[in-house]
Amino acid sequence: MKVISNQRMFGGEQLRIEHPSESLQCVMRFSVFMPHGLSSQNPVPVLYWLSGLTCSDENFSTKAGAQRVAAELGIALVIADTSPRGAAVPDDDSYDMGQGAGFYVNATQAPWKAHYRMYDYIAHELPQFVATHLPVNANKAISGHSMGGHGALTIAIKNPAQYTSVSAFAPIVNPMACLWGQKALARYLGDDRSEWAQYDSVELIKEHGLSLPLLVDQGTADEFLAEQLLTENLATVLSEKTDADIRFQSGYDHSYYFIATFIEEHIRFHAKYLLA
């Protein structure tokens, strides 16, 4: 583990960490806020955050304003990058493919399959690395925004024993039915749509249900709501789940202004389960 930056913040530490990734076959960076500093005597639970298209690990840590509440509650924030990085990693000229757009899947198609295994990295490798190198306990929750909300939901649905709760801001809930998802899933996974379903929250819930508490916030002024996010499709498949709260926030868009407005409520939602 290589700490490449460390700032004092709200009595804790905001770090940026670099490490070699076996899953992604490249060097990866992630950010972490430790509420009481690095002390093996005081392990804390973790909220994992997954960001959206074009983002890195730095967007959430600098724009969301989450550290104050995490410090108060005693919760670590682990903020992952959105894709593998580096000169040897395949990329694409469009913003919604390649570096910055890993879609939290395990790619099976060339040229992506050697590096683009973000599902394995987030679901398995990164938590194992964090548990080995940082003073955290076994309690984990997961959240994310847009493409990262898609990742948080699919990973939580498929690994319910790993997490206490899941939340999302403006998630891509039904990628098989929107252009962002169709493009990424086809190129990363091939043309067999049955392979796509394992990374589609709506399809996964239809097949497996959702056993974790869920909070979703979606802005009604989000320019991507009608064609890309399809939040109503998620609401439909969860209509009978009593601990799933899908909130439509009037006038809010897709930006980090939206996230900053409601992030405290999401952290406190997760705290009910992480600290139980």
**Catalytic-residue membership of 254:** yes
**Catalytic-residue membership of 83:** no
**Catalytic-residue membership of 222:** yes
Q: Could you list the beta-strand ranges (E) of the chain.
A: 2-9, 12-21, 26-34, 44-50, 76-79, 136-144, 166-169, 214-219, 244-249
- Residue tagged active-site, from 146, 165, 167, 201: 146
| Contact between 195 and 189 (Cβ < 8 Å) | yes
- Residue tagged active-site, from 57, 200, 217, 222: 222
Alpha-carbon distance 267 to 262, whole Å?
A: 9
- Residue tagged active-site, from 115, 150, 254, 266: 254
DSSP output for 119-158: HHIIIIIHHHHHHHHS-EEEEEEEEEBTHHHHHHHHHHHH
Question: What is the CB-side half-sphere exposure of residue 32 using CA atoms within 13 A?
Answer: 27
Alpha-carbon distance 86 to 120, whole Å?
A: 19
What are the catalytic residues? 146, 222, 254
